[in-house]
Structure 1
Amino acid sequence: MQNIGSKIFTVFIIGLLGTLLYLTVFSDGLGQAPSVSVKTSQGQTIQLDKPLKPVLVNFWATSCPGCIKEMPEMAKMKQALGDRFELVAISMQYDPKEQVEKFIANNPYPFTFVMDSDGKLAKAFGDVLLTPTSFLIAPNGRIVYQIVGELQFEQVAERIKRMSPQL
């Protein structure tokens, strides 16, 4: 009997891991982006469920080592791909405003920073609690990539290139 139970458990775990892999890597859609808007550094408003070009949304915190580690790589990706996509870094509600402002002042990265002071943005994206958490939104408003943890930069850059071919 124990052998049958362990086989069922193993099949369940393999199925669960397969589903997670499919949803995070191979799926063309993880649902519609929430109907929220953010302002870019240039003062433009992006409606995240209708962005017109790809948008990478990154939830981060100053207390998160992985978040701080990936910021320079995100900056390199933004510089390399330029206007082919928008990059929005959203600080978590629990992050002290002064600490976030100091970080941004000391690290003038070439993307938009947004403070989620009331937690509404994290809630809109499914109650984001862990950082870093990132979402890549296609021009049609569909979430096509999601990860909890550091970004897989080559994979994300390739998806952005496919969604926004340069003419």
Structure 2
Amino acid sequence: MTSPSDRPESIPATSDAQPSAARRRLLYAGVAGAAALGGAGLAWWKFQPHAMEHGVEEALWAMEFEKPEGGVVALKSLAGKPLLLNFWATWCPPCVEELPMLNAFYRQQAPNGWQVLGLAIDQPSAVRKFLQRIPLEFPVGLAGLGGTDLGRSLGNLTGALPFTVVLGGNGRVLHRKMGQITPQDLQLWAPLR
């Protein structure tokens, strides 16, 4: 029979091996936790609006977009009242899902001075076809790839959709939201002017 002191040093005792396995589990858990926090931090950073380009608010009001039904929507014609500007596309499920809510917001808040403008980051033919199936009461502008650049200048660095910008009657950006809006967002924004 061998005693613990008779064992060669290269063979650890069973009781000595368990703390090593426990340490490994703690190390793995720590590394996994750090990776999860890092990933969550990156996702948070990625999906938060970032700083806007200098002068973008002024430039925005000078823009014009073709309408799917013909004609042009000039943002300067919307100046002086609060505006909800929504960047969307027909191929974006969260965008399509929030459009009826935006339409209801427009119907309810238009008497209070609110305006809504949808900027479609999409092919004009796809937008026209979509609006035949799901008509919207608020105006839609065909923004195309230029709409992605405009979104980036407003702080949407990833170009993710949907992206919503709320502007006050003074023409200044009050709120920006990346991702799908909620009824709570609209309740928060409705009293703004």
Indicate the structure whose relative CO is greater, using CA pairs within 8 Å and at least 6 residues apart. 1
Instruction: Determine if the alignment matches structure 1 residue 114 to structure 2 residue 141.
Output: yes
Q: Give the deviation of 1:34 after TM superposition.
A: 5.0
Counterpart contact for 2:161–2:178, Cα < 8 Å: yes
Rounded Cα–Cα distance in structure 1 between residues aligned with 2:151 and 2:181: 17
Q: Secondary structure at the match of 1:145?
A: strand
TM-score (normalised: structure 2): 0.60
Which of 114, 127, 136 matches 1:100? 127
Which of 59, 62, 66 matches 1:35? 59
Instruction: Determine if the alignment matches structure 1 residue 61 to structure 2 residue 85.
Output: no
Alignment size in residue pairs: 146
**Higher gyration radius (CA):** 2
**Runs of 5+ consecutive residues of structure 2 not aligned to the other structure:** 1-26
Q: Secondary structure at the match of 1:139?
A: coil
Q: Secondary structure at the match of 1:33?
A: helix
Counterpart in 2 of 1:161? Answer: 191
1:63–1:43 CA distance, 2 compared to 1 (3 A):
closer
Instruction: Determine if the alignment matches structure 1 residue 46 to structure 2 residue 99.
Output: no
Counterpart contact for 1:55–1:136, Cα < 8 Å: yes
AA partner of residue 120 (structure 1): G
Q: Which is further off, 38-47 or 77-86?
A: 38-47
1:123–1:44 CA distance, 2 compared to 1 (3 A):
closer
Q: Give the deviation of 1:97 after TM superposition.
A: 2.1
Cα distance per residue 1:94-139 (max 9 Å; x no partner): x23211110012222110111113x223313325521111100111
Identity %: 17
AA partner of residue 86 (structure 2): N
TM-score (normalised: structure 1): 0.68
Instruction: Determine if the alignment matches structure 1 residue 147 to structure 2 residue 147.
Output: no
